[in-house]
Amino acid sequence: MKSRVYCASLFALYQLTIALGIFVMPLAIAAHQVGYTLPIHRLLTNVGERYENAQATMA
């Protein structure tokens, strides 16, 4: 039961991270033109990998 809640919360966090990336995209484009890269991709990758690992341990 605990792993199911953990997996569901990671899925929700993953979806929120994707939404955050879409919402911040205009700011990221402007920052890229200045020469700065926002680290949203690292956050998305880390959360995605943790979600996949949690799914693999449930199966």
Give the distance from CA 8 to its chain's centroid: 14
DSSP per position, 4-37: HHHHHHHHHHHHHHHHHHHHTHHHHHHHHHHT--
Q: Model pTM greater than 0.85?
A: no
Domains: count for the chain: 1
Q: Which residues contact 12 (CB under 8 A, 6 or more apart)?
A: none
pLDDT of residue 1: 60
Q: Which domain holds residue 35?
A: 2-58
pLDDT, one tens digit per residue, over 25-44 is 999 999 999 999 888 889 99
